[in-house]
Amino acid sequence: MAASDQQSPTPLPPLAHGALKGIKVLDLSRILAGPTCTQMLGDLGAIVLKVENPKTGGDDTRQWGPPYVMDQDGEASDLSAYFMAANRNKRSIAVDIATPEGQAVIHRLAAEADILVENFKPGGLAKYGLDYASMRADHPSLVYCSISGYGQTGPNSHKPGYDLMAQGYGGIMSLTGEPNGQPVKAGVGIADVMCGMYATIGILAALHHKTQTGEGQQIDLALVDAQVAWLINEGVAYLNTGTLPQRRGNEHPSIVPYGLYDTSDAHVILAVGNDSQFRRFMEFLGLEGLAEDARFATNPARLQNRGALNDILIPALQRFTMDEVIAGMEARKVPAGPVQTLDRVFASDQVAARDMAIDMTSTAGPVKLLGNPLNFSRTPVTYRYAPPQCGDATAEILGAADPFEQD
């Protein structure tokens, strides 16, 4: 049979559950890094029980609003937008771990769990007998993930950790902002979110080890460590040169032109990644001669002459509208795009096609959430539980013979 006559095998239909079906997660975390991790595990099919403190009204972010979901009486529920962003596919149980009864509940659940995630200060759970050393003695197969500001070791391990502090201490703020302005944090808690992603990766690796050996382990993850790790090219450049990078606003340290530019009516993003794209860009602007100019013909030359090039590009681009620039660049296969506000993001056909905005129904009312970006051909992400109200499943779960009964 000729190669052209061969048919690809028929793809298998998606299953009705995620890849982590049957994996049991005991979630003692709150705020954002830990909940981001456990939401991801839940989206992938794991059973997640979220433990919340009944004395404080649960996860701190329940109070980080408005906006809140309004209940049927028109009153604000405990479902803030912040909380809902990281707590779907979980069931909430209200347990006071400061009491012997609460500690007994955690041990009972840990005996059944595959994973425990916590983000207390290092040593904070020891007084309750719920730290890793204590839990390992009773539950040696447990994968125990500890998230903290600075990690379980080091001179700063006792300090609390928040996203803003991690962005400052870990260096990303020194790189972000306009050259002559203040250092600027990212617009969302990206240090927390990235720490949650690293936690998910670490947990999956530890689960694989557990499958092979039956042995659990502790994962020690710090917000600051995670933030330092994603300094990527700027961090590596500093380590190898000793030269501090400069804040460049929206410009790129290694590629020119690459950034945000004004047109006659709006901003446009240009990402001219190589010399052939630069030639096509100059063709669009009617400045073909610049592509042959020794100052601009190569990317290293453009880096050295960034200011001189921008002096030419800035007025040239302002002769066009944003739509004209984007259409011209797309026709020439040069990356370009708009800076969209969120109303345009969520009204776009691309977001709709990729299911990046979803609707669920919580006990307080209907909610809209961000979709999970992972797409599996066989074990798709599932959305089984809307973000819970604090402790709304306590009686059901703690009264069940199997508190982790598969949903």
Output the six-digit token pair for 147. Answer: 């998230």
* Alpha carbon distances (Å) from 94 to 13, 176, 361: 39, 40, 21
Contact 30, 83 (CB under 8 A): no
Distances (CA, A) of 102 to 389, 396, 399, 402: 19, 16, 14, 17
Q: How crowded is residue 158: how many other Cβ atoms within 10 Å of its Cβ?
A: 12
DSSP state of 66: S
Helical (H) or strand (E) element with 218 = strand 217-222
Distance CA(230)–CA(225), nearest Å, equals 9
| Helices assigned H by DSSP within 171-249 | 172-175, 190-213, 223-229, 232-241
- Residue in this structure with the two tokens 């794209």, named with its chain if needed: 277
CB 365 within 8 A of CB 69: yes
Question: Which residues are part of the catalytic machinery?
Answer: 192
Distance between CA atoms of residues 180 and 248, nearest Å? 9
- Alpha-carbon distance of 64 to 156, in angstroms, equals 27
Measured between alpha carbons, how far is residue 403 from residues 50, 106, 118, 168, 189 in Å?
Answer: 12, 11, 19, 41, 32
Half-sphere exposure of 375 (CA within 13 A, CB side): 5
Residue 110, φ and ψ in degrees, nearest 5: -65, -30
Q: Contact at 8 Å (CB) between 261 and 272?
A: no
Q: Are 403 and 394 in contact (CB under 8 A)?
A: no
**Residue 251 amino acid letter:** E
Task: Measure the CA–CA gap between 401 and 22, rounded to whole angstroms.
Answer: 16
Torsion of CA 19, 197, 130, 78, to 10 degrees: -90
